[in-house]
Amino acid sequence: MHLKNIYFVNLWLVFCLLFTTACNDDDNIYFTQDEIIGDINSGKQIALENNTLVVYTNNIGTSVNVQGAKGKIHATSSDENIVLVTSSNEGKATVLVEALNIGNAQITVTDAGGNSATFTVEAKDGEELWEKRIYTLRGKRQCLIKGVTPSDSAQIAAEAIGKVPEAKWVIKKRSYPFAESLQRMYVYDEENQLLVQGILEIEKSASNQPSYSIYSDKHELLMNYTMPISGYFVKDLTDEYQNIYPEVTEVLVYLPFAPIL
């Protein structure tokens, strides 16, 4: 009988130990993201893979959910030159992580009860998120002019061709989940000085000619080119010359371009 009692006592101790361990596991602080689906069996959200978060520079902050915390939380970064972190206790406990420079940092979250947990942030170059294409506007140019005399046409052509500087175009494209992709364009001169940058929109006109327009972040038109034939962008300077030559009906500068591999 004595041995039997000892057996049941041991079973009870094992049960209590397992129960306590399970409770402690649920009480531990861990980290998740909203886009990660929870475990189907337990309903518990799945923690960050390898307890690591990948973020990118020049990007909006990334939100991380803090699970299992008791009361308000406070988060700190081991290196604020690489990663900044902001705590939020409104609604659910979250931390917002923002990458400033490439590198790694540890984020430590502490709750009101003094419990703490840490996850790793790997900050990468935001340029990795963009597809990049580079073109040069160099080579022999042509100018199409209509409505004026041959002598005026020659004078306009000589001037108009020089109005558009030789340049390098860098077109960057980034795709977003469940949203339209974004394209930006950067125009550099021969000394690699930035001339224009903005949002690139490519549309087709009624004549099915692609139109490349660069807009500022406030959607002000900065530059516009068409591409009526392969290998050439066209800059329309008609409006500019109609002030001096009212009879002119068209001034188009054809700019040969080539991709840089």
pLDDT digits (tens, 9 = 90+) for 8-29: 445 444 444 444 443 444 458 9
CA distances from 161 to 192, 195, 203, 253 (A): 20, 18, 25, 6
Q: What is the pLDDT of residue 205?
A: 74
Average pLDDT of 232-240? Answer: 93
The β-bridge partners of 115 are none
CA distance 70 to 106: 21
Q: What is the pLDDT of residue 44?
A: 55
Residue 60 pLDDT > 50: yes
- 76, 107 in Cβ contact below 8 A? yes
The pLDDT mean for the chain works out to 85
pLDDT digits (tens, 9 = 90+) for 78-134: 999 999 999 999 888 999 999 999 999 999 999 999 999 999 999 999 989 999 999
- 51, 36 in Cβ contact below 8 A? no
Q: What is the pLDDT of residue 59?
A: 86
Q: Which residues of 142-160 are buried (b: 16+ CB within 10 A; e: fewer)?
A: ebebebbeeebbeebbeeb
Q: What is the pLDDT of residue 11?
A: 46
Average pLDDT of 46-68? Answer: 91
pLDDT digits (tens, 9 = 90+) for 159-217: 999 888 888 999 999 888 767 889 999 999 888 999 999 999 998 877 778 899 999 98
Average pLDDT of 154-161? Answer: 94
User: Which of the 8 DSSP states describes residue 26?
Assistant: H
For the record, the structure tokens of 241 come out as: 């010359």
Among 207, 220, 218, 212, smallest CA distance to 236 is for 212
